[in-house]
Amino acid sequence: MTDQPALTFRKSSFSASNGSCVEFAEAPDGFILVRDSKDPDGARLRFTRAEIDAWLLGAKAGEFDDLA
């Protein structure tokens, strides 16, 4: 088993104080990992930088506003 470097997860300053947040971290291989802040040892979604960029552009343009 190889040692893996610790990941630094962070969440938005706009996140609710109730712990219902997602957190993001950049992995050493360049992928972006996303996890549920309530379950830090649980599953992590893995995205390319291009996928995250596309999602952020859509969020900034209001494409997901109907979900909030």
For residue 59 the two structure tokens come to 């969020």
Decide: 38 and 32 in contact? Cβ < 8 Å.
Answer: no
Is the pLDDT confidence value at 3 over 80? no
- Say whether pLDDT at 1 is over 50: no
The token pair that represents 8 in the structure block: 């630094």
pLDDT in tens, 15-62: 777 777 899 999 999 999 999 988 989 999 999 999 999 999 999 999
Q: Cβ contacts of residue 63 below 8 Å, gap of 6+?
A: none
Single-letter amino acid code for the residue at 4: Q
User: Is residue 66 over pLDDT 60?
Assistant: yes
- Helix (H) or strand (E) holding 49, with range, is helix 49-60
pLDDT of residue 4 exceeding 80, the answer is no
* Greatest C-alpha distance within the chain: 45
